[in-house]
Amino acid sequence: MPTYQLTVNGRVRPVEADSDTPLLWILRDTLGLTGTKFGCGQGLCGSCTVHLDGQAVKSCQTSLKEAAGHRILTVEGLSKDGSHPVQRAWIAEDVAQCGYCQPGMIMTAAALLKHKAHPTDGDIDQAFADHVCRCGTYPRVRKAVKRAAGGAE
């Protein structure tokens, strides 16, 4: 099996696995970064979202060979102590219910705000269109994104 050098949360990690292995399983099973969640495995729920070179991607739909050579950021790497503005806004708005979908939501919010400092409702709807939350936290997600952008509703 080939060995790939993955840059995850600022650290280079050698990984030996089949080229087509989904990044999600490399993160969770090989590297022990279980903050990234498995929901559907089909690109439909967003719970596996991580950043690849600053863009939100679904790690269940990203292969090991596609991820190699790029900067991968998982929810564990967003901040050392939960102090990222999105994490603080999530706490302030008490967004999470069961929490399962939340790492993916947070990573999408962080990527959105990186590219658009003051997203409109339409921008938020578009960014979260592929996220599913069985607990229905969507209204609080919207509030928290706006709070993180500096304009609490």
Distance CA 1, CA 24 (A): 18
* Residue whose CB is less far from ligand FES, 101 or 110: 101
Q: Assign 115 to helix, strand or coil.
A: helix
Q: Give how many residues touch ligand FES by CB under 6 A.
A: 23
Kindly state whether residue 39 participates in binding ligand FES, applying the rule CB under 6 A: yes
Q: How far is the CB of 48 from ligand FES (least distance, A)?
A: 3
Q: Between β-strands 71-73 and 3-8, what pairing exists: parallel, antiparallel or unpaired?
A: parallel
The structure tokens 């599913």 sit at 132
Kindly state whether residue 31 participates in binding ligand FES, applying the rule CB under 6 A: no
Q: How far is the CB of 49 from ligand FES (least distance, A)?
A: 7
**According to DSSP H, which parts of the chain are helical?**
23-25, 64-67, 85-92, 102-115, 121-127, 138-148
Kindly state whether residue 96 participates in binding ligand FES, applying the rule CB under 6 A: yes
Site for ligand FES in 61-90 (CB under 6 A): none
Q: Between β-strands 11-16 and 71-73, what pairing exists: parallel, antiparallel or unpaired?
A: unpaired
* Residue whose CB is less far from ligand FES, 91 or 98: 98
Q: Interface with ligand FES by CB under 6 A: which residues?
A: 38-41, 43-48, 58, 60, 96-102, 133-135, 137
